[in-house]
Amino acid sequence: MADNEKPQGKPPAAEKKGEKEGSKAGKQAVKIPKGTRDWVGADIQVRDKIFKAAGEVFARHGAVQLDTPVFELKHILAGKYGEDSKLIYDLADQGGEMCALRYDLTVPFARWLGMTNTQSIKRYQIAKVYRRDQPAVARGRMREFYQCDFDIAGEYDTMIPDAEILRIIVDVFEAVGLGKDVTIKINHRKILDGLFAVAGVPADKVRTISSAVDKLDKLPWEEVKKEMMEKGLESGVADEIGEFTKHSGSLKKIIDLLKASEKMMANESVKKGVEEMDLLLSYLEAFEIPDRVTFDLALARGLDYYTGVIFEALIELPPNSSSESRIGSIAAGGRYDNLVGMYGRRQIPCVGVSFGVDRIFTILKQRHEDEKQRAKGVDVYVMAFGGKNGLLKERMAVASELWKAGISAEFSAKVKPKLPQQFKAAETGGVPLSIILGEDELAAGKVRVKTLGLADDHPEKEGRLVDRADMVEEVKRQLSEGQSEA
């Protein structure tokens, strides 16, 4: 599933020519393309934590990983994204096949299912996708950004995979430490479609009215109603939609509310949807997560291809947070039973979810930014005090021994570095431990192992002089003590 990042629908205007193209004539600026970023340092550690947590949850549910090319044949992407197709990045025509960068991970998955004639699979993919949208870096809208998709494809009994997807959403947010902050809204396309029909929306206006309803989380009712009327609805019809879509609550509450309406239940589509939601509720109980899900009749979701359950995971920020940092949807998805048939010989029903990695990243980073992060993961800095030729080869041999023992280690790549420079390098890198070599000590077969940054009155402030043969053990000991103190 692919659309938790809602595109703006506007392709960027041609960018201004000559805009800061380097200070000197003839020399072009060293820049990164607009709407893209480099990932490095602490950011990549937070990002990898999300990937690892999600990947472990998916594997626990029996999913396999799929990695597709960054570009697809252009005709594979054509006609899948409605008016947002203009945001697709095309490759230049250089005399071969016509290709375009992937816009989401759903279409490549459907293409792969069709090509391989796979009948059923749980698959996940974590990868970058591309949208030639107007970038808004501060608000997290990028042209290159990560998606993390999990989908279950195959002919199964009603609502069983759908319930498992919801359980996976709960599991992933718990694994990244956001379990308590996330609410999952859910609705059913059949109920929504039936509701529109009962209210009197003409069949050919259902999708466009649905996308107006989808704005209810951002706009006041009056504005949404105005949009509906501009789209051709009568005031009374709009009001009836408004009357129903204002309801949300536990699955049981909303199911009971719908069941109590004879007018609604007389509609076949609503009736079917309610039966399915009833079944879903019983499965969510078996999975112990009914209280994690809210039934919201105003949830509509933009994409056309949903055919059943739709859902969206939202994170609620404290009310005093600035509008700049307010973040809504961080995962979204639903059931789409008719997409794969566009690529293969037969339909394969699917249900899936897409996690908004960049948004989850932004939230986790905000939370951890006060925590002191080690700049990198090196455990030991090997240094020398005096000695002929800076004891370089001895430092190398010690580092070599640590590497062999699986311990990360660095040393100054200078022949004769000064001792304060070596301490400074260790400090800058946040390295917790040093090994200090001296000519006399080495002659006696000894090295000093010293935890850095200890208080002046700490009994091990000066480190420990140990036999060269005991060095690796002593390093491990001091490292594990340092961890338990931290």
Residues of span 187-246 touching a second copy by CB under 8 A: none
The CA distance from 40 to 368, in Å, is 16
Min dist. Cβ of residue 416 to a second copy (A): 8
Does residue 96 bind a second copy (CB under 8 A)? yes
What is the closest distance, in whole angstroms, from the C-beta atom of residue 36 to a second copy in the complex?
4
Among 400, 418, 460, 480, indicate the residue that binds a second copy (CB under 8 A): 400
* 3-state SS, residue 232: coil
Position among 5, 72, 240, 276 found at the interface with a second copy (CB under 8 A): 72
By the rule CB under 8 A, 37 interacts with a second copy: yes
What's the rounded Cα separation, in Å, for the pair 107 and 322? 36
Pair 132, 7: CB distance under 8 Å: no
In this structure, the dihedral spanned by the alpha carbons of residues 68, 74, 75 and 79, taken in order and rounded to 10 degrees, is 100
Residue 328 interacts with a second copy (CB under 8 A): yes or no? no
Q: Which DSSP letter does residue 99 get?
A: E
Q: Give whichever of 209 and 433 is closer to a second copy, judged by the CB atom.
A: 433
Return the SS3 of 466: strand
Q: DSSP secondary structure string, 292-318? A: GEEEETT---S-TT--SEEEEEEEPPP
Q: Which residues pair with 406 in a beta bridge?
A: none
* Closest distance of CB 462 from a second copy, Å: 25
DSSP annotation string for 120-171? -EEEEEEEEEE-----BGGGTB-SEEEEEEEEEES--STTHHHHHHHHHHHH
When the beta carbons of 196 and 283 are compared against a second copy, the nearer one is 283
CB of 238 to a second copy, least distance (A): 38
Taking the least distance from each CB to a second copy, the nearer of 144 and 296 is 144
Q: How far is the CB of 317 from a second copy (least distance, A)?
A: 27
Two structure tokens written together for 11: 């392709």
Could you tell me which stretch among 107-115, 257-265, 292-300, 437-445 binds a second copy (CB under 8 A)?
Answer: 107-115
Q: Does 388 bind a second copy (CB under 8 A)?
A: no
Q: How far is the CB of 211 from a second copy (least distance, A)?
A: 25
Member of 9, 52, 85, 90 binding a second copy (CB under 8 A): 90
Residues 140-169 that bind a second copy (CB under 8 A): 144, 152, 154, 156-157, 160-161, 163-164, 167
Give every CB contact of residue 388 below 8 A, 6+ residues apart in sequence. Answer: 439
- Residue (130 or 311) nearer to a second copy, CB: 130
Does 137 help bind a second copy (rule: CB under 8 A)? no
Q: Is 428 a residue that touches a second copy (CB under 8 A)?
A: no
Under the binding rule (CB under 8 A), the answer on residue 103 touching a second copy is no
| Residues 276-305 within binding reach of a second copy (CB under 8 A) | 282-283, 285-288
Mark the segment that binds a second copy (CB under 8 A) among 127-135, 194-202, 204-212, 363-371.
127-135
Angle at the Cα of 11 (from 5 to 16), degrees rounded to 5? 125
- Establish if 377 lies at the interface with a second copy (CB under 8 A): yes
Q: Does 83 bind a second copy (CB under 8 A)?
A: no
Task: Give the integer Cα–Cα distance in Å for 274 and 234.
Answer: 27
Q: Does 66 bind a second copy (CB under 8 A)?
A: yes
Instruction: Give, as ranges, the residues between 448 and 467 that touch a second copy (CB under 8 A).
Output: none
Single out the residue of 9, 39, 316, 461 in contact with a second copy (rule: CB under 8 A). 39
Cα separation, 86 vs 473, in Å, equals 61
Order across the sheet with 329-336: list the strands: 121-130, 144-153, 350-355, 329-336, 309-315, 182-188, 293-296, 248-249
When the beta carbons of 292 and 301 are compared against a second copy, the nearer one is 292
Q: Is 469 in the site for a second copy (CB under 8 A)?
A: no
Choosing from 26, 95, 318, 420, the residue that interacts with a second copy (CB under 8 A) is 95
Residues 477-485: contacts with CB within 8 Å, 24+ apart?
478/433, 478/449, 478/451, 479/379, 479/407, 479/432, 479/433, 481/451, 482/432, 482/433, 482/451
394 lies in the binding site for a second copy (CB under 8 A): yes
Q: How far is the CB of 237 from a second copy (least distance, A)?
A: 39
Residues 342-371 that bind a second copy (CB under 8 A): 343-344
Helix (H) / strand (E) element for 230: namely: helix 221-230
Q: How many CB atoms lie within 10 A of CB 59?
A: 13
With respect to a second copy, which residue has the nearer C-beta, 377 or 386? Answer: 377
CA distances from residue 103 to 80, 86, 139, 179, 348 in whole angstroms, order as listed:
10, 11, 20, 29, 21
Identity of the residue, 213 or 399, whose beta carbon is nearer to a second copy in the bound complex: 399
| Residue 65 engages a second copy in binding (rule: CB under 8 A) | yes
Residue whose structure tokens are 């009155």: 457
Smallest gap from residue 75 Cβ to a second copy (A): 5
Which range binds a second copy by CB under 8 A, 12-20, 181-189, 193-201, 472-480? Answer: 12-20
- What's CA 141's distance to the chain center, in Å? 13
Q: Is 89 in the site for a second copy (CB under 8 A)?
A: yes
Angle at 316 between CA 311 and CA 317, to 5 degrees: 150
